[in-house]
Structure 1
Amino acid sequence: MSAWQKILLYLGVLLIILSFVWPYLSKLPIGRLPGDIYIDKPNFKLYFPITTMLLLSVIVSFILWLFRK
């Protein structure tokens, strides 16, 4: 099995797992963490989830580190 086939297999399994736990993940307060920037003005809305992006980056990096070991 080539490396690309393994990557696609792992991504498929990950998507299947995420589809089963999505209802529970949507109830978590991820996306409105302290440190996320939210500006709401009359004609302008800006949402920049800095803290959420950092947290997800750490989690994904850890999962990828586990797969490489």
Structure 2
Amino acid sequence: MNMGKMFITLGIIFVVIGIIWSLIGKLPGDITIKRDNITFHFPIMTSIVVSVVLTLIFFIIGKFR
């Protein structure tokens, strides 16, 4: 697989993830606390998912170097 096809595949994957993410809004495991006029949102699960995805991307790119 050459780099062009890999980037096209990654782009399609990101578009699909973005569409799903916008429909869901937030992942289970994200913490939202609402009190009076203050809202605190801490996206724990979202952070984990982004970390795993970036790790896989950098691993794949490193394999082709």
TM range (shorter): 0.5 to 0.7
- Shift >3 Å, 4+ stretches: none
- Calculate the TM-score normalised by the size of structure 2: 0.62
* TM-score when normalising by structure 1: 0.59
2:35, 2:29 → 1: CA distance?
19
- Distance in 2, Cα, partners of 1:27 & 1:46: 23
Matched with 1:25 is: 18
RMSD: 2.7
Unmatched 5+ residue regions in structure 1? 1-12
Aligned residue pair count: 52
- Report percent identity of matched pairs: 34
- 1:35 CA drift (Å): 0.9
Q: Aligned pair in 2 of structure 1 residues 55, 27: CA closer, same or farther (>3 Å)?
A: closer
Cα offset for 1:27?
4.6
Deviations 1:36-58 (A, max 9, x none): 01011112110000000001100
Determine the C-alpha separation between the residues in 2 that align with 1:41 and 1:58: 32
CA deviations over 1:7-33 (Å, ceiling 9, x no partner): xxxxxx7xxx48xx38x714522x511
1:54 corresponds to 2:48: yes
